[in-house]
């Protein structure tokens, strides 16, 4: 599904008419004389203005952003979890431009993407994110900026650098970038081995304010990465979070260190994480066994080159007899189905559904195998039969996003065309609630993109020759075959 974004004239109108008028919801306290400069900035970006020109353009005092509100965290109090609707809690409004710290940059966001953490933020589960902002607010002078009655969310972005702080060395205005979401304090000693081990590591746009689902974003310079030149803005924006996470889980020495010939069971293999995991296993010489939940998704995986696919809905696995009791015979049935497809048990299980699948994942992993987990979508209080873990010398390993180097390497593979974006649909920023709803209800495949400043899809390709060499069909597999 591809829905248009507001035109440039609509943007101008929104800026000049809606900005700070008394009848318009706005977090900006300043008078209406404060005109937004976003339309001029957008024109300059679209015209490919040099960085020096961009650096001279005035920044707006406020910008449009998708946000959730502190005074609304109770709106779903009586609503069962699956029925909580992001369309009720996500708003698109004007917010004031925050001050920039010396190690930060302002990015004009051309496109962003929905991640599952956007869904968590919007349904205030497992916790409202305002607690994270309050903690960050207590940490330092610059941290205090984040503790606000609204939270601008979003943990992915592609765009153009508009300004850099005085301590930034590697980036300058005009740079075309993607943003990864690891928000790390480099004064924490632990950050200097693996920054994911830093005690105050945070996910930008989830545990910090000023995220990517907006016309402007405030990021640390060490979140910036080059934009893949052959991709559109929306294709470039969809990779940062889940591609880097899948890379760490499977490829990095901090993850499962997959090797050639490894069999890897991938839950949600056409989802945001799984769509990259399948590609990493294939390109690393492994054998992916993808689990999905519809014939359309089976077809999509086959198109990606994943030959062994299980439709979990068609198979009708019932790992839980009831809320408290698991059924080992169902784990066994899954194990048999995997062996029937690839002849052996998985060396690695790529886990994220959590409570519903973890018992089965521990059971089906090979003797000495690894279950690598980064999430628990269906519940985080996990149960598995420990005998299968210790007697067969299996390992459960936790993984969380990626450090800068891992994100950079994963981005490099996208830049070279070795890994493809998995964008299946794009929504305008004004419909961000609907986009999050699609992900919450598992109605999507791959990633859903969001056009922020980009006036339409298909813009931002700087290297059409590389795109042609990689092949349009490969770059757009999920869009062609997605629902
Ligand atoms: P996604 O795009 O929604 O994909 C998840 C897939 O999992 C779905 O497409 C679905 O596929 C499958 N699934 C959902 N519930 C399931 C269940 N009960 N049993 C089996 N399969 C199930 O989400 P995502 O971006 O891949 O993220 C998945 C989870 O990882 C989320 O909880 C997210 O917050 C987390 N995450 C964590 C990190 C981290 O750094 N720690 C990073 C990224 C994501 P089928 O219906 O086709 O089977």
Chain segment 136-161, per-residue pLDDT in tens: 999 999 999 999 999 999 999 999 99
| Residue 413: pLDDT over 50 | yes
Q: To test ligand 1's pocket by mutation, which of 113, 273, 372 has the most ligand atoms within 8 angstroms of CB?
A: 273
Predicted local distance difference test score (pLDDT) of residue 482: 72
Upstream peptide bond of 126 is cis (omega within 30 degrees of 0): yes
| Residue 79: pLDDT over 90 | yes
117 lines ligand 1 (CB under 6 A): yes
> Atom 19 in ligand 1: which residue has the minimum CA distance?
353
Q: How many CB atoms lie within 10 A of CB 351?
A: 29
- Of the candidates 14, 6, 414, 462, which has an alpha carbon nearest to the alpha carbon of residue 225? 414
Residues linked to residue 287 through DSSP beta bridges, in sequence order: 263
Q: Are strands 348-351 and 263-266 parallel, antiparallel or unpaired?
A: parallel
What's the pLDDT band for 295 if we cut at 50, 70, 90?
very high
The DSSP secondary structure of 401-469, one letter per residue, reads S--HHHHHHHHHHHHHTSS---EEEEEEGGGHHHHHHHHHTT---SEEEEESS-SSTT---S-HHHHHH
Predicted local distance difference test score (pLDDT) of residue 173: 98
- Ligand 1 atom closest to residue 297's alpha carbon, by position in its atom list: 47
pLDDT tens, position by position, 238-282: 999 999 999 999 999 999 999 999 999 999 999 999 999 999 999
Region(s) of the chain under CATH 3.90.180.10 = 8-243+402-481
Cα 373 from chain centre: 16
Going from the C-alpha of 365 to that of each of 4, 284, 360, the distances in angstroms are: 44, 19, 9
68 lines ligand 1 (CB under 6 A): no
What's the pLDDT band for 483 if we cut at 50, 70, 90?
low
pLDDT tens, position by position, 96-133: 999 999 999 999 999 999 999 999 999 999 999 999 99
- Its pTM surpasses 0.85: yes
Q: Are strands 320-322 and 423-428 parallel, antiparallel or unpaired?
A: unpaired
> Atom 14 in ligand 1: which residue has the minimum CA distance?
353
Where is pLDDT greater, at 482 or 128? 128
> Atom 40 in ligand 1: which residue has the minimum CA distance?
401
pLDDT tens, position by position, 336-350: 999 999 999 999 999
177 lines ligand 1 (CB under 6 A): no
What's the pLDDT band for 185 if we cut at 50, 70, 90?
confident
356 lines ligand 1 (CB under 6 A): yes
Q: How far apart, in whole angstroms, are the C-alpha atoms of residue 345 and residue 483?
A: 31
Region(s) of the chain under CATH 3.40.50.720 = 256-398
| Residue 465: pLDDT over 90 | yes
In CATH, the architecture of 256-398 is: 3-Layer(aba) Sandwich (3.40)
400 lines ligand 1 (CB under 6 A): yes
Predicted local distance difference test score (pLDDT) of residue 37: 78
* CATH class for the domain made up of 8-243+402-481: alpha beta
- Ligand 1 atom closest to residue 120's alpha carbon, by position in its atom list: 34
What's the pLDDT band for 15 if we cut at 50, 70, 90?
very low
Q: What mean pLDDT value characterizes the chain?
A: 93
> Atom 10 in ligand 1: which residue has the minimum CA distance?
268
| Residue 162: pLDDT over 80 | yes
SS3 of residue 213 by DSSP: coil
pLDDT tens, position by position, 347-369: 999 999 999 999 999 999 999 99
Q: To test ligand 1's pocket by mutation, which of 271, 274, 300 has the most ligand atoms within 8 angstroms of CB?
A: 271
Q: At a CB cut-off of 8 Å and minimum separation 6, what does 276 contact?
A: 239, 242, 243, 246, 247, 419, 422
């Amino acid at each position: 599904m591809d829905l248009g974004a507001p035109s440039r004239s609509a943007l101008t109108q929104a800026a000049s008419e809606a900005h700070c008028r008394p009848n318009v919801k706005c977090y900006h306290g300043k008078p209406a004389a404060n005109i937004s400069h976003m339309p001029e900035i957008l024109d300059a970006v679209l015209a490919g203005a040099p960085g020096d020109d961009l650096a001279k353009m005035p920044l707006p005092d406020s910008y449009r952003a998708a946000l959730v509100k502190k005074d609304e965290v109770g709106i779903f109090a009586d609503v069962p979890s699956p029925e909580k609707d992001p369309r009720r809690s996500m708003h698109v409004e004007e917010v004031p431009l925050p001050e920039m710290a010396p190690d930060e940059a302002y990015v004009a966001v051309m496109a962003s993407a929905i991640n599952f953490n956007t869904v968590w933020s919007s349904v205030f589960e497992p916790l409202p994110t305002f607690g994270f902002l309050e903690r960050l607010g207590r940490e330092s002078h610059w941290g205090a900026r984040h503790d606000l009655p609204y939270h601008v969310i979003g943990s992915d972005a592609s765009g153009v650098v508009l300004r850099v702080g005085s301590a930034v060395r590697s980036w300058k205005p005009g740079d075309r970038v993607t943003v990864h979401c690891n928000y790390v304090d480099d004064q924490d000693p632990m950050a200097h081995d693996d920054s994911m081990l830093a005690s105050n590591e945070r996910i930008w746009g989830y545990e910090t304010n000023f995220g990517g689902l907006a016309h402007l974003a405030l990021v640390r310079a060490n979140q910036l990465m080059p934009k893949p030149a052959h991709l559109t803005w929306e294709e470039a924006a969809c990779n940062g979070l889940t591609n880097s996470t899948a890379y760490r889980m499977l490829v990095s020495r901090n993850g499962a260190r997959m090797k050639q010939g490894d069999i890897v069971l991938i839950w949600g293999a056409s989802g945001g994480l799984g769509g990259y995991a399948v590609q990493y296993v294939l390109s690393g010489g492994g054998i992916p066994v993808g689990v999905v939940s519809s014939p359309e998704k089976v077809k999509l995986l086959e198109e990606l080159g994943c030959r062994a696919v299980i439709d979990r809905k068609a198979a009708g696995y019932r790992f839980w007899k009831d809320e408290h009791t698991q059924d080992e015979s169902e784990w066994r049935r899954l194990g048999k189905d995997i062996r029937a497809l690839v002849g052996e048990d998985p060396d690695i299980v790529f886990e994220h559904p959590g409570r519903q699948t973890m018992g089965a994942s521990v059971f089906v992993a090979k003797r000495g195998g690894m279950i690598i987990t980064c999430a628990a979508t269906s519940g985080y209080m996990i149960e598995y039969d420990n005998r299968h873990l210790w007697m067969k010398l299996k390992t459960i390993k936790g993984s969380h996003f990626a450090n800068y180097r891992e994100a950079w390497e994963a981005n490099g593979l996208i830049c070279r065309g070795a890994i493809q974006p998995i964008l299946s649909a794009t929504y305008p920023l004004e419909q961000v609630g609907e986009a999050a709803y699609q992900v919450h209800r598992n109605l999507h495949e791959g990633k859903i993109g969001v056009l922020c400043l980009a006036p339409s899809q298909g813009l931002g390709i700087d290297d059409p020759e590389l795109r042609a060499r990689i092949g349009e069909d490969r770059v757009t597999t999920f869009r062609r075959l997605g629902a």
